[in-house]
Structure 1
Amino acid sequence: MEQIDLTTGSLNLSQLQNIFRIIPQEFDFIDEKDIIRWYSNNSERIFDREPSALNKHVLDVHPSKSADRIIKLLDQMHNGTVNEQVMVIPAKGKQIQISFYAVKDENEKYLGCIEVTQDVSHLVGKTKLGHMADLIKKRFSKGSS
């Protein structure tokens, strides 16, 4: 199988596909014309993607209520004023972190962006005190059984 040479090593296509299959985050690559060119597909996907999403404008596969925010963000990424944006939104009964990262070549030419989505429900609202309280509760619940 042909190797894909990367800056820090090489992988074959099967290895690369299976890496993205097991990573619980979902990835969507949106090119410099705001067209979806690739997405990861794993069992942990929060927002379903079908092959029919490929080669469509990013606004065609996102809810219309987010269109204004997406347009603004992509404009900022195109003109270089923003290189990343991270937000947490409630969706599907979970707290979902959606991160956008501008993808640029070595000359800072904008190539597109990667959208990374993951469930962070287990992290949201937790402080050191909150984590300590959870540990104490677990300790006492084990001791009382």
Structure 2
Amino acid sequence: IKLLLRDLDKKENDQITMEKLVERINDVSASLIDMVFRENNILYPTLKTILSEGEWAAIKEEEDVFGYYKIKPSKWTTEEKPIYPYQIDRELTEKEVSQLPNEIKTILTKGETEGDKHRVVREGDIRLDKGYMLSDEINMLFKTLPFGITFIDRDDRVRFFSGRRTFSRTESVIGRSVRLCHPPKSVGIVNKILKAFKEGSREKADFWINIGDSLIYIQYIPIRNEKGEYLGTIEIEQDVTDIKKLEGEKRILDWK
């Protein structure tokens, strides 16, 4: 459809022939008809057969993320808790298989596909808000991020720092008051930012400074729990020199 819209723009500027435009329209029309047929006769009947109410609850919970085409479904609720793909560990019954569309049934009976046996939750995994990770993975993730992070808790103490830092920082700052991590002339600004975050009157403070040929972008962002209660502040520092130079788009991998 996007290509068709581009071609329509080209036609207005006489950059494409009518014959080519009609060919594109026919291709799009055939693709849409085929897609709707497969949805109505294969996809929807299959989902109706194999998905539990808990799985539908998970779909309903996440559908707003992707949005809707033309219409928005009516409100639907269930007492079942959402069940996500990684939480499912079962095989289809013979009755369920018999109710599937022939296209899917043929694939299953021929053994042309194999179920995903991977287990998401491993021994030692830490349950995060969205997913699971080992402590080593979390640690290396922070160390690999292309910017530096410092976490200051609700008592204004440095609890954690990692990432690629512009300003040197050693482990001796852990547990130290954040006010002792800044020059005396900056303490007033630090106090003002933290006070505003705790009061809820501000949700961000940012600065950018030049160090040599580099442009450093610094952000302070409050962290709150689901109730809106203040848990601490995260400081992010990033060298944005190369980012500032970006223009246009880059959609192709240029590795050599």
**Structure 1 SS opposite 2:241:** coil
**Structure 2 SS opposite 1:77:** helix
Letter in 1 for 2:231: L
Q: Which position in structure 2 is the counterpart of 1:52?
A: 172
The structure whose residues are more often helix, as a share, is 2
Q: Which position in structure 1 is the counterpart of 2:220?
A: 100
For the residues of structure 2 that align with 1:65 and 1:99, how far apart are their CA atoms? 19
What is the 5 A alignment of 1:1-145? 2-40=124-162, 42=163, 44-91=164-211, 93-124=213-244, 126=245, 131=247
**Structure 2 SS opposite 1:122:** helix
Letter in 2 for 1:120: V
Deviation of 1:90 (Å): 2.1
Mark the CA change 1:92 to 1:112 in structure 2 (over 3 Å): closer, same or farther: farther
Gaps of 5+ in 1: 133-145
CA RMSD of aligned residues (A): 1.8
Deviation of 1:54 (Å): 0.5
Deviation of 1:63 (Å): 2.1
**Structure 1 SS opposite 2:137:** helix
Deviation of 1:122 (Å): 2.3
Deviation of 1:112 (Å): 0.5
Question: After TM superposition, which residue ranges in structure 1, 4 or more long, deviate above 3 angstroms?
Answer: none
**Structure 1 SS opposite 2:136:** helix
For the residues of structure 2 that align with 1:9 and 1:107, how far apart are their CA atoms? 21
**Structure 2 SS opposite 1:82:** coil
Instruction: Using the aligned pairs only, state the percent identity.
Output: 29
**Structure 1 SS opposite 2:223:** strand
Deviation of 1:48 (Å): 1.5
The structure whose residues are more often strand, as a share, is 1
Gaps of 5+ in 2: 1-122, 249-256
For the residues of structure 2 that align with 1:68 and 1:97, how far apart are their CA atoms? 20
Mark the CA change 1:33 to 1:25 in structure 2 (over 3 Å): closer, same or farther: same
Q: Which has the higher contact order (CA 8 A, sep 6+)?
A: 1
For the residues of structure 2 that align with 1:7 and 1:31, how far apart are their CA atoms? 19
Q: Deviations over 1:82-110 (max 9, x none)?
A: 11122212235421111111000111110
Larger radius of gyration: 2
Deviation of 1:117 (Å): 0.5
Deviation of 1:71 (Å): 1.1
Mark the CA change 1:75 to 1:92 in structure 2 (over 3 Å): closer, same or farther: farther
Letter in 2 for 1:48: S
